[in-house]
Amino acid sequence: MSALICAFSRAYHSKENEVKIFDDTIAELLLSKDEYNEIVENMSNGIKFFNPNFVGNKDEALRWIVDNQLAPSPLGRAAYAEKMLKNAVCSSKVKQYLIFAAGYDSFAYRQPEWSKELEIFEIDHPVTASDKMERLKRAQIEIPCNLNYVAADFTQEKWIESLTKNERFDSTKISFCSLLGLSYYLSKADFENMIKIIGEIIPKGSPLVFEYPDDETYAKKAAERTKKQVILANGAKEKMLAGYSYDEMEKLLCRCGFSIYEHLTPDQITKQYFEEYNKANPDHYMSAFDNVNYCLAVRE
C-alpha cells in the first residue's frame, strides 16, 4: 500500500506542476485508472483526518493532502538519490546501480543518457517483483537491456545470494546502492545487518544512499503530520519501528564499514530540493518531511 501511495504521489506531482521537485513520467503508467481514481477519492474524502480545519472543494483537499502529507518524502528522497547517482556516475567509476526494495521505482524505465552504461539491479520480494512485471506489461513499457530483476526475500538469512549468484552482477565493480523507504520498517538490528551484508559484497568506494527518521520522530513532541504518517503506516500493517540520532547512525555505519559523506536535515533538504518548486508555487508550499534525514555513505 505504501508503494502504491508513493507512486500515486509522484504521478500526481508530475501531472499537476510545471516546475517539479521530481519528475516521474512513468509512475502514473504503473497504476491502473481505477487504482489512481480510488486513491484520489479516498484521500480527498479523508481531508478531515489530515486537516480538521480545512475549507475547500475536493480538488483543493486532494492537493493539500498530497503537498503536505503524501508527496514530500517520495519526491525529496527520489530527487536526492538520483542527483547523487548522477554525480557518482559522472565523476567516478560507478558501473552498477543496486536498488534494494525497488517497489515501483521507475528509474530504469526513464534512463537519462548518462546512465546508459550502468548495469541496474532491482532487488525485491518475489511477490512485489511479479506484480511490477504485470504492471509494466499492462502499460506496454519496454524492459531495458541493462536492467536485471533479482527476487530476494529480505527475511531469509541468505537473501543476498539471489544477487551475488546473478551472472551479470560483478562484486569487483563500484556499485551505487539505494535503500529508500526501508529504515522506517526495519528494527535497528535488522537495518544494521542489511547494511553490513551489503558492505560485504561491494568494493571500497561504493556509495550508499538512504533516508532515516531521527530519534524524536515517534516521541510525543513529533509534528502532527508525522503522527498522521505513523497512523497510516500502522493501518496498512506496515508499522514503523525505529528512529536514530546522528551519532547512533554514524556509529552504525562505521561498524558496517561505511563513513558518512553527506548528511542533510529537513531544513537543508527543503532549501536544496524544494526551493525552486516553492518559488513557482507559493500557494502550494512544500517542505521536507519532519525529522527525516538524508544520508550518503561510502564503503571504506
Average pLDDT value for residue range 196-218:
90
- Whether the model clears a pTM of 0.85, i.e. scores above it, the answer is yes
C-alpha 260 chain-centroid distance:
19
Average pLDDT value for residue range 96-101:
97
- The pLDDT, as a whole number, for residue 221 is 47
Per-residue three-class SS string for 212-260: EEECCCCCCCCCHHHHHHHHHHHHCCCCCCCCECHHHHHHHHHHCCEEE
The CA-atom distances, in angstroms, between 260 and each of 49, 60, 206, 216, 254 are 38, 40, 12, 21, 9
For residue 245, is pLDDT > 60? yes
- Are 70 and 148 within 8 A, CB to CB? no
- The pLDDT, as a whole number, for residue 156 is 84
Angle (nearest 5°) at CA 206 between 111 and 129? 50
The CA-atom distances, in angstroms, between 44 and each of 51, 54, 59 are 11, 11, 7
pLDDT in tens, 152-205: 988 888 999 999 999 999 999 999 999 999 888 888 999 999 999 999 999 999
- The pLDDT, as a whole number, for residue 62 is 96
Mean pLDDT of the chain: 91
Q: How far apart are CA 88 and CA 77, in angstroms?
A: 16
pLDDT in tens, 31-83: 999 999 999 999 999 999 889 999 999 999 999 999 999 999 999 999 999 99
